[in-house]
Structure 1
Amino acid sequence: MEESRLSPRERRVLAEIEEQLREQDEPLARRLGAMKRGPLLGAPSAVDLRRKLPGLAVAALGAATLALLVLAVAIGTPVLIWAFAAVWVLTLIGLLLLVVRWSRRWSGSRARPPESHPAD
Structure 2
Amino acid sequence: MSAGRLSDHEQRVLDEVERALCRDRGLDRRLRTLRLGRCPGLGRPAAYRPRTPTVLLLLTVSVTLLVTGIVTSEPAVIWSFAAVWPVTLFAVFRLLCRWTEG
TM-score between both structures, scaled by the size of structure 2: 0.48
